Structure 1
Amino acid sequence: MNMEQPQLKKELKIRHITMISLGGIIGAGLFIGSGTLIGQTGPGSIFSYAFAGLFVILIMRMLGEMSTANPSSGSFATYARQALGPWAGYTIGWLYWFFWVIVIAVEAIAGSNIIQYWFPGIPSWAMSLILTFLLTLTNVYSVKSFGEFEYWFSLIKVVSLALFLILGGAIILGLIPGVESPGTTNLVEHGGFLPNGISSVLLGVALVMFSFMGTEIVATAAGESADPEKAITIATRTVIYRILIFYLGSMMILVTLLPWDSPTLLKSPFVSILEMVNVPGAAQIMNFIVLTAVLSCLNSGLYTSSRMLFSMAQKGDAPRMFLKVNKKGIPFNAIIGCTIVSYISVGFNYLSPDKIFLFLVNASGGVALLVYLVIAFSQLRLRHRYEKTNPEALKIKMWFFPYLTYITIAAMASIFFAMAFIDSLRSQFYLTTLIALCVVASYFLIKKKNVTSVATTTKEEIS
């Protein structure tokens, strides 16, 4: 009997991983959702991004520690299984998979809505299916083609945001002829820096955490790199600068240049900045950049969900049919499986946007925090294990271990349970908790069934 497991090809290059790590943190949420947060929190929203960014940096450091010691395409689901037991790997693997297949549908719908800006005659549901199908082709062809597409998507996002930071900085410094710098007016007037109090900043942290989801993809991608240790090291050590420059830099420019209580300007804050300097076609330019961010997220979602499904099949947590790898080392069945689920989700959005589809979106809302919690608990366990059995494997180490790990766990747990007391997040908290409990229950039911089946078979063989 051949016990050899199908293997994925290691075709992602360091330049792919580097650009994925750079662009992976720049999602459509930054371009679209930042205005909403500023409107709720005021200039102090920069603190919300700072606190959330700090937690993500710590989580990425923990993930980097485990990934360099043991690169895996299953990433944190594999580490959860090793550290906390098979039930943890099973649970967090399926929850993460569920999150990303819903994201694929959400991003496909968002992309179709943007394209309708230019081609209003195409039905939204049809364009959603077309976008998903086209990016499925890039994933099915080869992992290298996924890397190339993500490289260029990320490059567009990074260059666009870098140019925006330069432009915004020039306006603030009064270097643009004919455009008056607001100075600190928008920071201290209109109710002050924290017009709605410190509580609004803490509320903002819970909202912002979801914007950072996707940072961890680089750990999964490193499993298909020829030099995973180098890839993870680069991504882990540069995450601080990425968050400081792209997120905090952008937010500082937005809150300085735009009054927080202007609903018109904050509806499309990045467009408003471009229009300040009379950039022709500002809305069209920003639509293109947001579409790039959406397609990048859709592309990454197909990649990540399929690799998680493949990894779970290797562990026996998903049907073995998802282990099929084609000649190019691509988990073909896993990709198709994820695509079909996303097609069904798009269909639900067409048939029942306010019930079934809304339920699915809300049910996946708190998964990011559960994933971060599991990463922290896994690192806590595995660090002690590595120090005893293989200390040389710890090429990257979590700072001030174990104290920062404990602080991160407490913070993540607090943010998750705080969702239950926030009107806009309450449904996500309860639905995510319900789905998580159902997944845990399914593991023990399946395990019990398997154990009973094995025992029955053994008894019959003895007889």
Structure 2
Amino acid sequence: MSDKPALARNLSTRHVNMIALGGTIGTGLFLGSGESIKQAGPLILVIYLITGLFIFFMMRALGELLMSDTNKIIFIDFITEYLGPRAGFVLGWTYWAGWIVIAMSELTAVGNYMQFWFPKTPAWIWEAIFLILLYTINIIAVKAFGETEFWFALIKIIAIITIIVSAIIMVILHTKTNQGIVTLSNLWQHGISSGNSQHIIGSFQMAFFSFLGVEFVGVSAAETKNPRNNIPRAINSVIMRILIFYIGALSAIMIIQPWTHYSATRSPFVQVFAGIGIQGAAGIINFVVLTAAASSLNSSLFTTGRMLYSMCPQNSYFAHLNKQKIPMRTITLSTVLVASVIVVNYLFANGVFKVVTSIASAGFLVIYMFLMLTHIKYRHSADYLQGDKYFSMPGAPMTDYLTIVFMLIIFIILIFAKATLIPTILTLIWLGIIFLVSLCIKFNK
């Protein structure tokens, strides 16, 4: 695997930082947080803090692995090295399939979001336009991808900062809205939770899924300039991003108007913008979530292309880089598979993709747990004993085990929740099938 042509290192510090930001800010915050607020109330802030802490541990484990060998094409390569080629095969194809499914659902979302402004134009036209545009960006140059992600992330950041600054100003000025005076006491004077234990427990699952894709910085490591400095800086900033972009944004939303006044079916950002009198609130947030969906689609094409390049046999047709040192052939194959969603959307109901996306999410949870097991195995290897201990994970191996336990709890929540039971079972079936396939393959030691 290491004998394959090396990918270009053209992602700068600002690109890596924004890629890391984009991995933690998505439609889960802009659209899904309304349901989280309704189910858990202000207690959702504590839930995000707890979940964010374990996500940070996972990212530090990933960071230590990345720093041990920055030439690895993708973090799945570490699973292959320390847990064996069969584990790498099963989890690698699961990760690739998960991103393909996410890309399909995000492409579908892009078409739906564009119909907000152009209701008479068929959604498939917008899906085709966006897919072709992002495919072109991905095969031109790695820097073009990084630049696109930079601006996508910036748009999301501006929207969140606008909410936070608005809340601060309104508290200082004691601004009155249709829901009453804007005050810090809105966080607790209507109760600190919904009181429904089942909903509160379920909110841990929703908080976890909001962070889905945070590991994406581990996919871009092999194409990052000066990874020894840029990767640790991006990973260490995860906690600050959690505090500002999740805790800060959700706090601001519940300060501007009481959490009991939010609807679970609408974006809380739309509701709060409308509540403070900003005209066209729905249009503004539609643009932001369109950006978030396009960003996820862009990242999916990037990731799936690198995954295929990493997993394909040496000297095969797909183990090839173009003149820009980009795996164009694997990106093209992944894009063609994603494009099939246009036909699938025509043949099947949209509800199918909600189930399939949940399958991908459960698959990511399994991958994260095995990533922690990989880090534990690395800590007992000669590579660690002979290394320079640069960017070590704090509290290991205890933090590894605690993170695995936390993720197992989330997985159990998925199994016992009616909405995610079937998708979780289908994920286990998928893993079983891929494992059986791996038994038919002879791996090189």
Q: Which TM bucket (shorter chain)?
A: over 0.9
Counterpart contact for 1:182–1:257, Cα < 8 Å = yes
Match of 1:427 among 411, 422, 425: 422
SS of residue paired to 2:194: coil
Structure 2 residue 410 is matched with structure 1 residue 415: yes
Q: In 2, Cα distance between the equivalents of 1:143 and 1:363? A: 30
Structure 2 counterpart of 1:443, one-letter code: S
Aligned to 1:268: 267
Structure 2 residue 333 is matched with structure 1 residue 334: no
SS of residue paired to 2:312: helix
Aligned to 2:143: 144
Q: In 1, Cα distance between the equivalents of 2:267 and 2:409? A: 31
Q: In 2, Cα distance between the equivalents of 1:176 and 1:387? A: 59
Range that drifts further, 342-351 or 75-84: 342-351
Counterpart contact for 1:417–1:429, Cα < 8 Å = no
Task: Name the TM-score, length of structure 2 as normaliser.
Answer: 0.93
Task: Name the TM-score, length of structure 1 as normaliser.
Answer: 0.89
Question: Which structure 2 segments of 5+ residues have no match?
Answer: none
Report the alpha carbon displacement of residue 276 of structure 1 after superposing the two structures with TM.
Answer: 2.6
Range that drifts further, 339-348 or 68-77: 68-77
- The superposition leaves residues 230-285 of structure 1 with CA deviations (integer Å, 9 ceiling, x where unpaired) of 12111111111011110111111223333334354862211222223212222211
Report the alpha carbon displacement of residue 40 of structure 1 after superposing the two structures with TM.
Answer: 1.8
Report the alpha carbon displacement of residue 161 of structure 1 after superposing the two structures with TM.
Answer: 1.3
Structure 2 residue 342 is matched with structure 1 residue 343: no
Structure 2 residue 368 is matched with structure 1 residue 372: yes
Larger Rg: 1
Report the alpha carbon displacement of residue 356 of structure 1 after superposing the two structures with TM.
Answer: 5.7
Counterpart contact for 1:96–1:371, Cα < 8 Å = yes
Structure 1 counterpart of 2:90, one-letter code: T
CA distance 1:41–1:313, shift in 2 (3 Å): same
- The superposition leaves residues 376-432 of structure 1 with CA deviations (integer Å, 9 ceiling, x where unpaired) of 00000102215654231x211111111111111111112112211011111221111
Question: Which structure 1 segments of 5+ residues have no match?
Answer: 452-463
Counterpart contact for 2:62–2:375, Cα < 8 Å = yes
Q: In 2, Cα distance between the equivalents of 1:182 and 1:6? A: 58
Counterpart contact for 1:233–1:396, Cα < 8 Å = yes
Report the alpha carbon displacement of residue 440 of structure 1 after superposing the two structures with TM.
Answer: 1.3
Range that drifts further, 218-227 or 266-275: 266-275
- The superposition leaves residues 184-233 of structure 1 with CA deviations (integer Å, 9 ceiling, x where unpaired) of 5543455x212234443322111221111111111211210121111211
Aligned to 1:461: none
Structure 1 counterpart of 2:183, one-letter code: G
Structure 2 residue 319 is matched with structure 1 residue 323: yes
Aligned to 2:58: 59
Aligned to 1:385: 381
Range that drifts further, 398-407 or 171-180: 171-180
Q: In 2, Cα distance between the equivalents of 1:22 and 1:94? A: 25
Report the alpha carbon displacement of residue 175 of structure 1 after superposing the two structures with TM.
Answer: 5.3
Structure 2 counterpart of 1:187, one-letter code: L
Counterpart contact for 1:363–1:435, Cα < 8 Å = no
Counterpart contact for 1:102–1:345, Cα < 8 Å = no
Match of 1:441 among 413, 436, 439: 436
Q: In 1, Cα distance between the equivalents of 2:350 and 2:18? A: 37
Q: In 2, Cα distance between the equivalents of 1:185 and 1:67? A: 44
SS of residue paired to 2:220: helix
Aligned to 1:165: 164
Q: In 1, Cα distance between the equivalents of 2:312 and 2:11? A: 22
Q: In 1, Cα distance between the equivalents of 2:64 and 2:240? A: 18
Runs of 4 or more consecutive aligned structure 1 residues displaced over 4 Å after TM superposition: 175-180, 263-266, 354-359
Aligned-residue sequence identity (percent) comes to 33
Counterpart contact for 2:23–2:213, Cα < 8 Å = yes
Q: In 2, Cα distance between the equivalents of 1:259 and 1:266? A: 16
Aligned to 1:81: 80
Number of corresponding residues? 442
**How large is the RMSD of aligned CA atoms in angstroms?**
2.3
Q: In 2, Cα distance between the equivalents of 1:72 and 1:251? A: 38
Counterpart contact for 1:20–1:150, Cα < 8 Å = yes
